[in-house]
Amino acid sequence: MIERNNQLSLTRQCQLLDLSQSSYYYRSKPADDSQLALLRQMDEQYLKTPQYGARSYATWFRRQGIQAGRKKAASMMRILGIISIAPKPRTSIPGKQHTVYPYLLKGLIINRPNQAWAADITYVPMEKGFGYLVAIIDWHSRKVLSWRLSNTMDADFCVQALDAAIQIHGCPKIMNTDQGAQFTSTAFIEMLQRHQIQISMDGKGCYYDNIFVERLWRTVKYEHLYTQAFSNLKEVRSSLTGWFDWYNQERFHQGLNNQTPDEVYYQKLSRQQAA
């Protein structure tokens, strides 16, 4: 999104995107095979034990015969973008200087498409590196409305996914995310405000507030990403294109009375439009 041949200076472009200049210029070193293996192990374990923090992961690694201390575990958690859901002291105090929006879905009966959307980011393992996947889903139907891949955790690919979902499916009443930097960025928040979409955010570390996206990550990883090896993001993108089509059009859900996300989304949407 940042362009060198732009009328705005790089400094101003970074300010508008809520991105530090050091982040723009930084070029990370590729992870070696041993680090990629550890990241993959932690990612798989997180799906089973989201309550683990850095101390617990360090203990878990030692029990596997792997030398990885608390600081190493904390660094890996930052790379993966995962946070323990265990209660923490003084959790009512915001950790970053951004506007904290209330969680609007508690007790809300969500019974129609585009009433509430949710978004989240997850880690994508590859043979020689890793990437990040963001998905936007319709809360009621579980339909994946849009998704994007990136090799960095900036806000750009999240904004692109949101824009694509709005362009194709219209606007939801409510958008729910966690309090990650990508979703509290100026660009993401301004797009929601520009379309008059109500902003809802999970409590810090409360992954169950966005439970349907977390269930999607379990499904896409155990049924697809963990079953094969990918060399690069291009291969992941090509493979996920077909998988998400199958997920929306053919994978039935018990929670949807054994209907597919597309069936629930489009049937109810057509009824709304006819009413």
What six digits make up the tokens of 181? 């930097």
DSSP string across 228-241: S--SSHHHHHHHHH
What six digits make up the tokens of 2? 């940042």
Its pTM stands at 0.74
Residue 176 has pLDDT above 90, yes or no: yes
The reply to whether 227 and 141 lie within a common domain is yes
The reply to whether 134 and 267 lie within a common domain is yes
C-alpha span between 86 and 271 (Å, rounded)? 42
The reply to whether 18 and 152 lie within a common domain is no
Among 119, 123, 120, smallest CA distance to 46 is for 123
Q: Which of 80, 105, 140 is the last residue of a domain?
A: 80
The pLDDT tens digits for 108-160 are 999 999 999 999 999 898 888 889 999 999 999 999 999 999 998 899 999 99
- 4-8, 52-56, 75-79, 241-245: lowest mean pLDDT where? 4-8
Is residue 130 domain-resident?
Answer: yes
Provide the mean pLDDT of the chain: 84
What pLDDT, on a 0 to 100 scale, did the predictor assign at position 209? 60
Is residue 146 domain-resident?
Answer: yes
Is residue 85 domain-resident?
Answer: no
Is residue 95 domain-resident?
Answer: no
The reply to whether 167 and 43 lie within a common domain is no
Residue 206's contacts (CB-CB under 8 Å, 6 or more residues apart) are 85
CA distances (Å), 177 to each of 55, 101, 105, 118, 257, in order?
26, 10, 11, 6, 26
C-alpha span between 255 and 259 (Å, rounded)? 8
DSSP string across the chain: ---SSSSS-HHHHHHHTT--HHHHH--PPPPPHHHHHHHHHHHHHHHH-TT--HHHHHHHHHHTT----HHHHHHHHHHHT----S--TTTTS-SSSS-------TT----STTSEEEEEEEEEEETTEEEEEEEEEETTT--EEEEEEESS--SHHHHHHHHHHHHHH---SEEEE-S-TTTSSHHHHHHHHHTTPEEEEPPTT-GGGGHHHHHHHHHHHHHTGGGS--SSHHHHHHHHHHHHHHHHHT--BGGGTTB-HHHHHHHHHHHHHH-
Residue 266 has pLDDT above 50, yes or no: yes
The reply to whether 196 and 131 lie within a common domain is yes
The reply to whether 130 and 232 lie within a common domain is yes
Pairwise pLDDT comparison (200 vs 97), residue with the higher score: 200
**CATH value at residue 215:** 3.30.420.10
The pLDDT tens digits for 66-93 are 888 889 888 888 888 777 765 544 333 3
The reply to whether 142 and 248 lie within a common domain is yes
Q: Which of 34, 59, 80 is the last residue of a domain?
A: 80
What pLDDT, on a 0 to 100 scale, did the predictor assign at position 88? 47
Pairwise pLDDT comparison (207 vs 145), residue with the higher score: 145
What pLDDT, on a 0 to 100 scale, did the predictor assign at position 186? 93
Q: Which of 36, 64, 80 is the last residue of a domain?
A: 80
Among 275, 135, 151, smallest CA distance to 215 is for 135
The reply to whether 164 and 251 lie within a common domain is yes
The reply to whether 138 and 207 lie within a common domain is yes
Is residue 87 domain-resident?
Answer: no
Domain holding 46, by residue range, is 10-80
Longest dimension (CA), the chain: 62
Pairwise pLDDT comparison (31 vs 33), residue with the higher score: 33
What six digits make up the tokens of 274? 């006819």
Is residue 15 domain-resident?
Answer: yes
What pLDDT, on a 0 to 100 scale, did the predictor assign at position 30? 56
Is residue 94 domain-resident?
Answer: no
C-alpha span between 71 and 77 (Å, rounded)? 10
Domain count, the chain: 2
Q: Which residues sit opposite 116 in a β-bridge? A: 174
Is residue 91 domain-resident?
Answer: no
The reply to whether 163 and 55 lie within a common domain is no
The reply to whether 184 and 65 lie within a common domain is no
234: confidence class by pLDDT, cuts 50, 70, 90: very high
The reply to whether 61 and 161 lie within a common domain is no
The pLDDT tens digits for 91-107 are 333 445 678 899 999 88
